[in-house]
Amino acid sequence: MKNKVALVTGGALGFKDGGPSIGGASAIRLAKDGFKVVIIDFCPTGSKTVETIKKNGGEAIFVVGDVGKTEDVKKAIRAAETKLGGLNCLVNCAARYTSGMAKNVVEISEDEWTKTLDINLGGYFRTAKYAIPLILRSGGGTIINISSIDGFVALPNFSVYCVSKAAINGLTRSLAVDFAPKIRTNTICPGFVRIANSQNNRTPQQLEEWYESIARQYPLKRACEVEEIATVVSFLAGDESSYINGASIVVDGGKLIADDHKF
């Protein structure tokens, strides 16, 4: 992947202290594969992702921006073209995740519904809309959208999140049909992943108990690590996945297919 360029949205490391994040791990892995990486995120810990990449001998730049704003998206794409020479891979990972969205359709406010869809779906739309012309001018490439298993099943009282993830899967299929063969587009659908932004204010002991309770729900009996998602991003970005297009790849340790009824 040497001399190729990737744009990763939501590529900052964890919100509080630069802990694990899917976007950050994906950016670091793509840089390890040889991509030059542009990271866009509103969180300042995007600079920590760049520091890690450079420390490992890679090349990366950080653009402070919000995927909910068209001009910020365009700014990141311009940076890919003018500073790194083009664009070959887009990884959409930025997502809105707030306590206000943890409601059913009756309880959720219209404002929360609109804001969440504007980032979780609209952000993917914006980056694809403005990145695709540059990817085509650069000779083609790949788009990788991070979704969730909740695009297939409904998490109780999490209506807008589930709807946004299902919509991402639909967007992926549209892009895969409309822009092949120059661009392959696929989705990764994780289950629960250990990321810094979901830790809230739990103590280390509370975190360990929480992770153990989640692990019991999964056939592999452990939580997924961000690097395991980044490995799939790497595969889809590379030539070894050359005939995979329009797929929604589930990475959940078997959770989606497991019936955990007790008899």
Using CA atoms, how far apart are residues 1 and 69, in angstroms rounded to an integer?
Answer: 30
- Residues 6+ away with beta carbon under 8 Å from 129: none
Q: How buried is 137 (Cβ within 10 angstroms: 0-12 exposed, 13-18 middle, 19+ buried)?
A: exposed
What are the φ/ψ torsions at residue 260 (nearest 5 degrees)?
A: -100, 25
226, 24 contact by CB (below 8 A): yes
- Residues 6+ away with beta carbon under 8 Å from 53: 27, 28, 31, 37, 59, 60
Helices (H), ranges, the chain: 22-33, 46-55, 70-84, 110-120, 122-137, 159-179, 204-215, 226-237
Rounded alpha-carbon distances, angstroms, from residue 55 to 9, 52, 59: 21, 5, 9
187, 169 contact by CB (below 8 A): yes
Catalytic site positions: 161
